[in-house]
Structure 1
Amino acid sequence: MTRRIVRTLLQAAAALITTLILVLVLDRNYRVLPNSLHAHMPTHHPGLVVTDVTIAQCSSVNVFSSCNLDKQKWTRVEKDLLLGKSWTRSAFLFVSRKREEDLIEGDSVVMDVTVGRLNPGSASGASEQWEARPSGIWLKRSMSHKASDDNQAITDVDVVFGDDAVEARGHWSIVGVPLLLNTENHFSAHLTVRRGPHVQEKTPKPRFNDNGRFRIMQVADLHLSTGVGKCRDAVPDKYHGGPCEADPRTLEFMAKMLEEEKPDLVILSGDQVNGDTSPDAPSAIYKFAKLLIERSIPYACIFGNHDDEKSMSRAAQMAILESLPYSLSLAGPEDVDGVGNYYIEVLARGKSDHSALSIYMLDTHAYSSDERNFPGYDWIKPSQINWFRHTAEKLKAKHKEYTHRHMDIAFIHIPLHEYLDHTNPRVGAWREGVTAPTYNSGFRDALVEQNVVMVSAGHDHANEYCALSMQDEAGSKEEQTPALWMCYGGGIGFGGYGGYGGYVRRLRMFEIDANEAKITTWKRIEHGRKVGERHDEQVLVDGGRPVAPQGGT
């Protein structure tokens, strides 16, 4: 019995020793012990780090070339660096990444990246060792595992396009010169990198100012391109003494208005991206987003018929918009038609948690889903109307707790069928035929039913009026009462059409006064005598109700 006990104890001791030896051996590969026992392992931002970057080019006339690398090591950034502009060649960026806890001895972490013809270390001495990669990429890597814990470590790499390319994402920056791809007739491609961990952006909470007022800027139809774009119907057609470049001129006007009007919220009401001329939608999105982010202005987007035309899908664009700083944009419920059906609550002044204003954003889609019977543009679907009604009803109880008059407004891209009624009183110019859907889905009636006082659209660039839709149930036209203001933002983008009587690009402002439940609107124009003035200023709502215009067309 004693001999058996001794044998058992010896076996247990041997097993324990074996286990300890195995742990120590495995620990040399940094895979067993917890991070707290590894002084060299990252502690404050676990995730992926970049260990290498390269570019592969391939030719359709060379069967031995390939734009694919070992998928076990490399992740391809799915953007042709030539943007499909070459008939015979393609090029792709590849990034090698590892989870920080999977780094082993001998792995290198990329600490810096640049692009240029010359070794960037040649000017700073031999202490900085840079490694060359194709197309002018230079990497500085560290063999130390502590490097992955550095906030300057490269954790992601991407590409943006165009001579006017910018970066709007938090902790991202464009590095060096454009990639040296040895090709002509394509948009310049820029390497952009993220340093340190991914940071989840906080969603801002819009609130009325201490004076009880809140300003909204509607920016309609930017029509931004990949690259500077081409001006259409520009007034004047020369700019700063030279030919008009669409995006720089559009964004310069927008930036000036942001500085002068100082909006509390910017609504981008569709066709931010000109799909035909923007093969890389993110490059266009970052241009307008950067203007807003650097001024700390919250913004919200819906889509138009051009945003995803020959470009990135709405869902993918919305995912980008949702991730950007100061963005209030949301994809909306998955069981509702479209991408971008959501609402924004603007809180009352002070520290109140009560909503003083609700803003409904709806996706008006693109082209008719029944071209044979209803040619032209699409319409708001039953699932959207049901979602809107249900949401508005659900919010009413909470809104009644607000001690002042709560108001509701809405933004869309394609105008409602009721915009076709030219007999409605209006303020502003009707310059072109209204391209509303020929099918009436009844969304205007749902807006009136839920006491929405104003809706504003884009889409028809040269129409820039507000028309008053009257209450149908009052009897004769003389006895009807105001029901809903239907406005246009007026197109701002020089990449979209203008025309129609020398249309001057513009944008629309709304000022909501919670003290009097009043909404005032005006427009600002890009060129001409009234460039510094408020144009067609009018009161839309007073005492929480739509009011008829004084005069009007």
Structure 2
Amino acid sequence: MADIQDGPAVNRDTIRMIEAAIREAKPDLVVLTGDQIRGYDPAYIDTFLRRRGEEPGARVRAVTHVEAFLKGIRPRVAVSELEGTPVPTLDELLDATRDKVRATFAAFLKPVINAGVPFAATYGNHDFQCGILADEQDDIYREFPGCLNPKAAAGHTASNASNANPVGPTGDAPRVAVSSASAIGLEPGTFALPVLSSDGSNHIAMSVTLVNSGDYAGNPAENDAQYPQYVVNSRGLDLADSDGYGTPTSEAIAWLGSSQRELSARNGDGRPVPTIAFQHIPPQEYYDCLKQVPAWTPNAVEGARTFAGRCYVLDEKVCRPGSRLGEAIGCADENVGEVAALREAGGYFALFCGHDHKNAFVGHVHGLDLGYAPTCGFECYGPKSRYRGIRLFEFHESDPAAYETRMLTWGELVGRYSSNEVRVFFEDHCITGTISLRNDLRRPQVFAAVALTTSLAFAALVRRIARMLR
């Protein structure tokens, strides 16, 4: 599940999507790839963090103030000052936010918990913006039954006995043994979950690894001079004033190899353990799944930041059938060598991300599958309702790398339209600058509609001028 990205009152369509996908898939494990929390939601206006290291609630985006006004939400400090009541302390505001985060988790996890499915979660670039950082969110996740996020000192095998034996999808023993008790953890959102063989032995058949891919690059203090511009154009400058998106830490990159060595040592055969990895922000190598095309190519998208000024479509030679490219790949400006580290470690056969809500492709480059799941949420931008969904993986014990994957979409499981299709339409055609405008105009249906409207308007203008000249 990628990019639920919601506040405490999780959109009902998002819940319906999760419920329908679980009924269809009957999964053994649910993986959340980050941005479960819509950190900039008005519900978190009192403790919003534009970047880590700031004072909570001090630099709320102008667009969040507008959304809060429309929803009738007012900062508690402002209300207290107006009513002459004691102003809440920062600790009190953060306690209230913790309760809201807990409520958000409870809402989207309810279908997962009710089905008795264990889950694991990593973090994206918006989760922390509510004011509660990943370490505390990890603790909150572990309050829920079935959470496999380990709690351990960095670099040590995790121990989480309360969640060591999650129940299976029907309340019985799970079809595969996945336990946080044997996890290898580095930091919140970065850990490996060994999956044991079906013969009841302790042999590790494969591993499911999650990586915390960071949030934003740069030091917030260095960008203070740009803050006035950010307030005026918070969406346009959301990345520019931070030097782009973040990356996994150097410790996490090194850990990719050390965790694989530990898994291999547990099996005692010296062989790399087949491993699939999940994280939020994609590395730059995702662009290698695309091919550059002329700017006027239908459905082409322009690259972002480092890749700006070039247009791309999917490279059908490396991408699986059914792949979809809906927007630029939002990778970091810096290539920290994660894909190279995965290859060098051995065993890793795939890396899947979220982050770019409209993308749903799977390509094979650099000896790895690099793939996406689009947003499964309905409180954020994304593709048409029928394309939003959850990615299903099925693994064969004899050869986990020969896995099968497909999208479980809203259109397939629920219906063509959501309960608020007008909102989804605007989210699908969200224009945030000239690049997104050009991308939208490359969509044949949009271009045809604009051309027809322009032609009709021009014809009407000509007729009017003709009448005036008679």
TM class by smaller structure:
0.5 to 0.7
Task: Give the 5 Å matches for 1:283-298.
Answer: 283-298=103-118
Q: Say whether 1:282 aligns with 2:96.
A: no
TM-score of the superposition, structure 1-length normalised?
0.48
| Structure 1 counterpart SS, 2:36 | coil
Provide the rounded CA distance (Å) in 1 between the counterparts of 2:389 and 2:264.
35
Q: Which residue of 1 aligns with 2:202?
A: 353
Q: Which has the higher contact order (CA 8 A, sep 6+)?
A: 2
CA contact (8 A) 1:332 1:340 kept: no
Task: Give the 5 Å matches for 1:200-349.
Answer: 219-228=1-10, 247-277=11-41, 278-279=43-44, 280-330=100-150, 333-334=153-154, 339-349=188-198
The 3 A distance-change label for structure 1 pair 256 and 502 is closer
* One-letter amino acid of the structure 2 residue matched with residue 496 of structure 1: C
Provide the rounded CA distance (Å) in 2 between the counterparts of 1:342 and 1:439.
23
The 3 A distance-change label for structure 1 pair 485 and 292 is same
Aligned partner (choices 358, 377, 381) of residue 462 of structure 1:
358
* One-letter amino acid of the structure 2 residue matched with residue 523 of structure 1: M
**Percent same amino acid at aligned positions?**
26
Higher-Rg member (1/2): 1
* One-letter amino acid of the structure 1 residue matched with residue 365 of structure 2: S
Aligned partner (choices 273, 276, 282) of residue 415 of structure 1:
282
- The structure whose residues are more often helix, as a share, is 2
CA contact (8 A) 1:525 1:531 kept: no
Q: Which residue of 2 aligns with 1:429?
A: 324
Provide the rounded CA distance (Å) in 2 between the counterparts of 1:252 and 1:512.
26
Provide the rounded CA distance (Å) in 2 between the counterparts of 1:515 and 1:250.
35
Cα distance, 1:485 vs. partner?
A: 0.3
Q: Over residues 68-110 of structure 1, what are the superposed CA-to-partner deviations in whole Å (9 max), with x where a residue is unaligned?
A: xxxxxxxxxxxxxxxxxxxxxxxxxxxxxxxxxxxxxxxxxxx
| Structure 2 counterpart SS, 1:522 | strand
Task: Give the 5 Å matches for 1:399-410.
Answer: 399-401=267-269, 406-410=273-277
| Structure 1 counterpart SS, 2:103 | helix
Provide the rounded CA distance (Å) in 1 between the counterparts of 2:252 and 2:399.
31
Q: Over residues 135-175 of structure 1, what are the superposed CA-to-partner deviations in whole Å (9 max), with x where a residue is unaligned?
A: xxxxxxxxxxxxxxxxxxxxxxxxxxxxxxxxxxxxxxxxx
Cα distance, 1:396 vs. partner?
A: 1.3
* One-letter amino acid of the structure 1 residue matched with residue 340 of structure 2: D
Q: Where does the alignment leave 5 or more consecutive residues of structure 1 unmatched?
A: 1-218, 229-246, 471-482, 533-553
Task: Give the 5 Å matches for 1:139-158.
Answer: none
The 3 A distance-change label for structure 1 pair 282 and 439 is same
Q: Where does the alignment leave 5 or more consecutive residues of structure 2 unmatched?
A: 45-99, 156-184, 224-239, 292-314, 417-470
| Structure 2 counterpart SS, 1:276 | coil
Q: Which residue of 2 aligns with 1:474?
A: none
Q: Which residue of 2 aligns with 1:447?
A: 342
Cα distance, 1:386 vs. partner?
A: 1.5
The 3 A distance-change label for structure 1 pair 503 and 434 is farther
Q: Over residues 514-542 of structure 1, what are the superposed CA-to-partner deviations in whole Å (9 max), with x where a residue is unaligned?
A: 1344211111110269969xxxxxxxxxx
Provide the rounded CA distance (Å) in 1 between the counterparts of 2:241 and 2:104.
35
Q: Which residue of 1 aligns with 2:424?
A: none
Q: Which residue of 1 aligns with 2:78?
A: none
Q: Which residue of 2 aligns with 1:504?
A: 387
Provide the rounded CA distance (Å) in 2 between the counterparts of 1:485 and 1:309.
31
The 3 A distance-change label for structure 1 pair 528 and 328 is closer
Q: Over residues 193-245 of structure 1, what are the superposed CA-to-partner deviations in whole Å (9 max), with x where a residue is unaligned?
A: xxxxxxxxxxxxxxxxxxxxxxxxxx1111121224xxxxxxxxxxxxxxxxx
CA contact (8 A) 1:506 1:523 kept: yes
| Structure 2 counterpart SS, 1:429 | coil
CA contact (8 A) 2:319 2:364 kept: yes
Runs of 4+ in 1 over 4 A off after TM superposition: 331-338, 370-374, 528-532
CA contact (8 A) 1:298 1:327 kept: yes
- How many pairs does the alignment contain? 282
Provide the rounded CA distance (Å) in 1 between the counterparts of 2:262 and 2:399.
25
Provide the rounded CA distance (Å) in 1 between the counterparts of 2:265 and 2:386.
45
| Structure 2 counterpart SS, 1:468 | strand
Provide the rounded CA distance (Å) in 2 between the counterparts of 1:393 and 1:463.
33
| Structure 1 counterpart SS, 2:110 | helix
Q: Over residues 338-365 of structure 1, what are the superposed CA-to-partner deviations in whole Å (9 max), with x where a residue is unaligned?
A: 6221110111103211110111111111
CA contact (8 A) 1:332 1:342 kept: no
Cα distance, 1:469 vs. partner?
A: 1.2
* One-letter amino acid of the structure 2 residue matched with residue 351 of structure 1: G
Provide the rounded CA distance (Å) in 2 between the counterparts of 1:405 and 1:382.
22
Cα distance, 1:296 vs. partner?
A: 0.9
The 3 A distance-change label for structure 1 pair 318 and 249 is same
CA contact (8 A) 2:319 2:361 kept: yes
* One-letter amino acid of the structure 2 residue matched with residue 248 of structure 1: R
Provide the rounded CA distance (Å) in 1 between the counterparts of 2:282 and 2:107.
26
Q: Over residues 315-359 of structure 1, what are the superposed CA-to-partner deviations in whole Å (9 max), with x where a residue is unaligned?
A: 111001123211101356448986221110111103211110111
Q: Which residue of 1 aligns with 2:246?
A: 378
CA contact (8 A) 1:426 1:465 kept: yes
Cα distance, 1:442 vs. partner?
A: 0.3
Task: Give the 5 Å matches for 1:188-203.
Answer: none
Cα distance, 1:312 vs. partner?
A: 1.9
Provide the rounded CA distance (Å) in 2 between the counterparts of 1:469 and 1:311.
37
Provide the rounded CA distance (Å) in 2 between the counterparts of 1:350 and 1:319.
33
Q: Over residues 178-200 of structure 1, what are the superposed CA-to-partner deviations in whole Å (9 max), with x where a residue is unaligned?
A: xxxxxxxxxxxxxxxxxxxxxxx
The 3 A distance-change label for structure 1 pair 338 and 496 is farther
What's the RMSD between the two structures over aligned residues?
2.7
Aligned partner (choices 349, 369, 375) of residue 491 of structure 1:
375
The 3 A distance-change label for structure 1 pair 456 and 531 is farther
- The structure whose residues are more often strand, as a share, is 1
Provide the rounded CA distance (Å) in 1 between the counterparts of 2:413 and 2:106.
32
Provide the rounded CA distance (Å) in 1 between the counterparts of 2:260 and 2:269.
15
Task: Give the 5 Å matches for 1:75-86.
Answer: none
The 3 A distance-change label for structure 1 pair 373 and 523 is same
Provide the rounded CA distance (Å) in 1 between the counterparts of 2:386 and 2:392.
18
* One-letter amino acid of the structure 2 residue matched with residue 224 of structure 1: D
Provide the rounded CA distance (Å) in 2 between the counterparts of 1:253 and 1:227.
15
| Structure 1 counterpart SS, 2:263 | helix
Provide the rounded CA distance (Å) in 1 between the counterparts of 2:279 and 2:412.
29
Provide the rounded CA distance (Å) in 1 between the counterparts of 2:208 and 2:201.
18
Cα distance, 1:503 vs. partner?
A: 6.8
